[in-house]
A and B are shown apart, each in its own frame.
Chain A
């Protein structure tokens, strides 16, 4: 089963709130990723990391930020949530050949 955990599974918050989406993996993988996916649509890479203290922005511009101070932990933060941030956020890690995804966080900003 999946060794990558995301919390919360569902989140409904008000506009302007600061939120952090948690992602942890127990596999010791260096490479981790955040994807954003609207319902029924493709996945867009928003952040990735190749190891501790390494973070890069992905192909899709995002107002979120990430940090990687421990190998197993890759949280994503939104300083001020807006309705346009409503989406599913998927965390993944990689050690070949394919990605392992977490169950995702479905975020709704009202």
Chain B
């Protein structure tokens, strides 16, 4: 079956440093989505990427979708303590909006 892997599994940064998480799918995706889950919380939708090579920005967050539509990345510039949480990518192969979630990257930010 489809597998979606993320690296790193965990990253600890000082506030103000940049952070990147990478997402790789074993199959070509129709779209990819990103979610953030705060400790003790539930996943919250951040963004969806659909086009090959697409880049989208949300303030300090930059999302990219690979040319082959099998990988993606999330980059956070100048992290803040409010960025703490686990970031999941989720791939949709187009089979009726059934998402396969990645393994997640847990981000810890300290002052």
A-to-B contact residues, CB < 8 Å: 31, 33, 35, 40-45, 48, 50, 58-59, 90, 94, 96-104
Q: Are B48 and A98 in contact (CB under 8 A)?
A: yes
Please, which residue of chain A has its CB at the minimum distance from the CB of B103?
A42
Q: Are B102 and A42 in contact (CB under 8 A)?
A: yes
Contact with A43, one of B41, B46, B48, B101 (Cβ below 8 angstroms): B101
Contact with A103, one of B42, B45, B46 (Cβ below 8 angstroms): B42
Q: Are B100 and A98 in contact (CB under 8 A)?
A: no
B98 interfacial contact with A, CB 8 Å = yes
Interface of B is mostly: strand
Q: Are A98 and B35 in contact (CB under 8 A)?
A: yes
Which of B46, B88, B100, B103 is packed against the most chain A CB atoms within 10 Å? Answer: B100
A2 CA / B46 CA spacing, docked (Å): 14
Residues of B within 8 A of A31 (CB): 96-97
Once A40-B106, A59-B1 are accepted as A-B contacts, the answer to whether A45 and B100 lie under 8 Å apart by CB is yes
Residues of A within 8 A of B42 (CB): 90, 101-104
B43 interfacial contact with A, CB 8 Å = yes
Q: Are A42 and B104 in contact (CB under 8 A)?
A: yes
Residues of A within 8 A of B1 (CB): 59
Q: Are A98 and B33 in contact (CB under 8 A)?
A: yes
Q: Are B43 and A101 in contact (CB under 8 A)?
A: yes
Q: Are A99 and B96 in contact (CB under 8 A)?
A: no
In the complex, how many angstroms separate the beta carbon of A57 from the nearest chain B beta carbon?
11
Q: List 17 A-B contacts (CB under 8 A).
A: A31-B96, A35-B101, A40-B106, A41-B104, A42-B104, A43-B88, A44-B101, A45-B100, A94-B97, A97-B31, A97-B48, A98-B46, A99-B33, A99-B43, A99-B90, A100-B45, A101-B42
